[in-house]
Amino acid sequence: MGMVGDTARMPDRLPSAASTGDLALPEAAETGRASHALARLGPAIDAFQAAHATVPYAAYQRPSDAATAGHLPEAGIGLDAMVDELAGLVAEGSRIGAPGFVGFITTGASTSGAIAETAMAFAGGQRYTIHAFNRLEHDSLRWLAQLCGLPEGVTGVYSSGGSTANLIGLGSARQSAFERLGFNVAEDGTPAGVRGRIYASELAHRTVHRAAAVLGLGRQAVRPIPVDGDGRIRLDELEAAMTADARDGIVPVATVAIAGTTDTGSVDDVAGVAAIAQRFSSWVHVDGAYGLIGNASPRLARLYAGLDLADSWIVDPHKWLATGVGVAATFVRDEGVLTRAFAEGDAAYLEGAFTPEDAPAVSQFDRMNGRWADQGLELSAPPRGVMVWAVLREIGRAGVIARVDRHVAYARHLADRAMADPRLELLLDPQLSVACFRYRAPAGVEPDALNARILERLRRETGQVPSSTVVAGRFAIRPCYINPRTTLADVDALVDAVIGFGDELTGGAAGGAG
Ligand SMILES: Cc1ncc(COP(=O)(O)O)c(C=O)c1O
């Protein structure tokens, strides 16, 4: 490395400041007055939340042009004016937290998650070194594992969402599968001529396929296994696929059990999947991005039998825990595999940050306090666990169980109404908090198009906003209940609106010719 003064080896120098006077100019950004800014913003957030229930969805469709369009500002407007603009934008923000929003599997933060995130931004900084927020990273991972009924001693790591969490779990699986064959893929890459396979039901989230692509296995390495009438992976089909591949010398990298499919909320038979996978020496990965939290409820525990047989699990607190978007956890049984798969490696600039655990630390910087950089995809990252900590500290395990049970009961209530009303059709019996139903089209009316039209009107004209999917080839209106603000009245309002629009579009006949 060139030494300072070794001019022959120095690159062109950057121009220095025009004068030493420039060096005394004040910084443009405020780094204090947080309470002042929060006090200005707070009322706008309260008003936004209050309006959630009443303002029609369409009113939020376009962000205002005033503050978002235009050019890169040459001169800043200052903190106060910026906060005022921000407060105006809050009113036009995302409606995913509104009580009637039950689309996809997403929701807004409850207050504790959002407040914790704000505190984290000021006082949490990085998830490294020894500080209070970093401790919450550790504690909340342990709490989350306990909440979801995972085995003692699992190692967890946070990342930004189910997409990355699946990649970390499946990356560990790939490391393990190839190590058994004598290859270290993290160092040497995937060996030529060896084909790997990931088994997952046809309802697997597409982030599993993307993980396969990123891991060099290719999307085609994900073998879709058919599901039964309840949306669960068919074990006979899984066994047949693994047997055929074993004959062809294909390496079983991972077998995925889905604890809560995105489309239908179905929970695969984890014990059954694990029993087959283990016969073929396959890693078992549980994608519980949505549904793993359901195992907190004793009433649902029977759905999750065999969870302890898996090798890795993922869960998204930003779904059913409503922490605010941007936090998922991957847990693995074997910390060594995880670390070998994702180690960042040595870096000179981190010298000194690894004081032995038993040596007294005299500053925050004496220890990294977690091998996060070696156990996932990110180096810099916030201690997201504070959002999980905050929600669990606020409502406890009991609050989570109550929420899960309430939401599952909502889906059941909707299903019961759909079965009781001749104008409606239940497409799949709900297991968790997703219900798939539709208006029964009278003779001569194409049911998929009719229900797509109903969905469009729901979104335009009401506060009830589900999304859709296809169940066994049939278009379904699909609410997913994870939103803490949703009430039973919202569930009924959705059903009533579907009936109302269906009647109107078909001429009002209850299941008859329109
Ligand atoms: C089962 C499942 N896995 C993975 C994901 C991806 O999670 P994220 O959107 O947090 O990346 C989802 C998202 O809904 C999901 O339902």
Residue 63 has pLDDT above 80, yes or no: no
The best mutation among 96, 102, 104, 105 to test binding of ligand 1, ranked by most ligand atoms within 8 Å of the C-beta, falls on: 105
* Mutation to probe ligand 1, out of 202, 205, 267, 431 (largest number of atoms < 8 A from CB): 205
DSSP 8-state class, residue 10? P
CA gap 188, 184 in Å, rounded: 6
What is the DSSP code (8-state) at residue 260? S
What is the number of other CB atoms lying within 10 angstroms of the CB of residue 94?
12
- Measured from the Cα of 291, ligand 1's closest atom is 1
Helices (H) and strands (E) in the chain, counts: 15, 12
Contact 436, 466 (CB under 8 A): no
Give yes or no for a contact between 466 and 435, defined as CB atoms under 8 angstroms apart: no
Helix axes 162-180, 206-214, angle to 10 degrees: 50
Ligand 1 binding pocket (C-beta < 6 A) is 105, 161-163, 166, 205, 207, 258, 262, 287, 289-290, 316, 328
- Domains of the chain (ranges, CATH numbers): 116-391 (3.40.640.10)
Q: How far is the CA of 222 from the centre of ligand 1 (A)?
A: 17
pLDDT band at residue 86 under the 50/70/90 scheme: very high
- Return the SS3 of 344: coil
Each residue of 238-269: pLDDT tens digit?
Answer: 999 999 999 999 999 999 999 999 999 999 99
State how far the Cα of 394 lies from the Cα of 111, in Å rounded to an integer. Answer: 10
Distance 484 CA to ligand 1 centre (A): 19
DSSP state of 293: G
| Helix/strand/coil percentages in the chain, nearest 5 | 45, 15, 40
Counting other chains too, the contacts that 378-382 makes at CB distance below 8 Å and 24 or more residues apart are 378/159, 378/160, 379/344, 380/126, 381/126, 381/127, 381/158, 381/159, 382/120, 382/121, 382/124, 382/125, 382/126, 382/127
Using CB atoms within 10 Å of the CB of residue 291, give its burial: 0 to 12 exposed, 13 to 18 middle, 19+ buried.
buried
Query: For 147-183, what is each residue's pLDDT tens digit?
Result: 999 999 999 999 999 999 999 999 999 999 999 999 9
Which residues 6+ apart lie within 8 Å of 273 measured at CB? 233, 235, 238, 255, 256, 257, 284, 306
By most ligand atoms within 8 Å of CB, the mutation choice from 316, 325, 387 for ligand 1 is 316
Ligand 1 center–CA 405 separation, angstroms: 21
Of 5-19, 93-107, 117-131, give the lowest mean pLDDT range.
Answer: 5-19
Q: How far is the CA of 122 from the centre of ligand 1 (A)?
A: 29
Nearest to 413 by CA among 444, 435, 392, 440: 435
Q: Could you report the per-residue pLDDT of 307-346, keeping only the tens digit for each?
A: 999 999 999 999 999 999 999 999 999 999 999 999 987 7
pTM of the full predicted structure? 0.94
Number of neighbours of residue 498 by Cβ within 10 angstroms: 29
Ligand 1: which atom is nearest the Cα of residue 104? 14
| Residues 289-298 pLDDT 10s | 999 999 999 9
Closest atom of ligand 1 to 328 CA is 10
C-alpha triplet 501, 505, 510: angle, nearest 5°: 80
Cα of 119 vs centre of ligand 1, distance in Å, is 26
